[in-house]
Amino acid sequence: MEMRLFVMSTSVIDILQLEYQRFSAKEKEIADYVIRNRQSINNINIKDLASYTNTSTSTITRFCKKVGCDTFVDFKILLNREAQKPRNDTDIFIKTQNLYNDIVNATAEMLDTERIEEVVELIKESRRIYVYGLGSSGLSALEFKYRLTRMNLVVDAVTDSHMMTMSASLLGKDDVVIGLSNSGRTTEVSHALNQARKRGAKVIGITNFDHTPLSEVSDICLFTPDIGRSGDVNFINSQLAIIYILDVMSLLLLEDENLLKARRQTLQALYSAE
């Protein structure tokens, strides 16, 4: 199966996130600092950055080349083009709105429409669909199950690691399994996806990072922004970007007349039962 996705993004922040797992420990320190301080990074020189991150200027130069920039100056120019104007986030209501807008906008920018449309077609053509996720990702898996069930698709959400392994062992070439994991390193999910792929099932991953166990086992991997990019450690809705992707996929599925008809039937049944 050769359907892997490698996102080519013009966003420096997107590249830092997707390539993060390939960075050395020192390069990760540089990436973390840049993401946290991207609004002011244009005001410091390479020696300052080396001092702030306990690295060397040569390490920073290698880091810049890894993300496609010849020099630190080139890196700052690209980053400055993306930087937003400073905002007043002292009002908690405005701050929350801005955080949500940041994640939604970043998710929209990272979307690969062709790959999402390909996933939608696989779902429509499949015999069965399984959605795997643990913890908060398990809640997103259940949400997607409810949506697809109302479209009369055969789907189940599996939020227990043992059940994931068992269901994966029974899948076949006409089945699709979708794995949800922000980190891409949820061992139980990746293990089950690997089992499903060995059985011939199509494997879809939705995660923040490339070069992880989940992205490596996926036939198609859809990438979402890491909420850490917001710079606010108190922002805890880690599923917002995943839900955005599931929303897009749901709307694309409802362009099919039969799926739309089934959803309307379930809505009518619910309304008549009240």
Q: Check which CATH number belongs to the domain holding 73 and give it.
A: 1.10.10.10
Domain identity same for 139 and 221: yes
Residues 236, 155 share a domain? yes
For residue 237, give the CATH number of its domain. Answer: 3.40.50.10490
Written as tens digits, the pLDDT of the chain (274 aa) is 434 433 444 578 888 888 888 899 999 999 999 988 887 787 889 999 999 999 999 999 999 988 888 888 888 888 877 665 555 667 778 878 878 888 888 888 888 999 999 999 999 999 999 999 999 999 999 999 999 999 999 999 999 999 999 999 999 999 999 999 999 999 999 999 999 999 999 999 999 999 999 999 999 999 998 876 555 556 557 788 999 999 999 999 999 999 999 999 999 998 887 6
Helix (H, G, I), strand (E, B) or coil at 131: strand
Full residue range of the structural domain in which residue 206 is found: 106-272
Q: Do 161 and 242 fall within a single domain?
A: yes
Asked whether residue 127 falls in the same domain as residue 249, the answer is yes
Same domain (yes/no): 47, 142: no
Q: Are residues 145 and 250 in the same domain?
A: yes
pTM for the whole structure: 0.77
Taking the CA atoms of residue 254, residue 259, residue 264 and residue 269 in that order, the dihedral angle to the nearest 10 degrees is -140
Cα dihedral 106, 194, 155, 255, rounded to 10, equals 40
CB 15 within 8 A of CB 68: yes
Helix 161-168, helix 187-198: angle, nearest 10 = 10
Q: With contact defined as beta carbons under 8 Å apart, do 205 and 161 qualify?
A: no
The alpha carbon of residue 124 and the mean position of all alpha carbons in its chain are separated, in whole angstroms, by 22
Q: Do 142 and 159 touch, CB atoms closer than 8 A? A: yes
Residue 129 lies in a domain: yes
Last residue of a domain, one of 49, 82, 115: 82
Closest to 262 in 3D by CA, of 122, 119, 153: 153
| 212 located within any domain | yes
Residues 133 and 217 both lie in one domain: yes
Q: Where are the alpha helices (DSSP H) in the chain?
A: 12-18, 25-36, 46-52, 57-66, 72-82, 92-110, 113-125, 136-149, 161-168, 187-198, 213-217, 240-253, 257-273
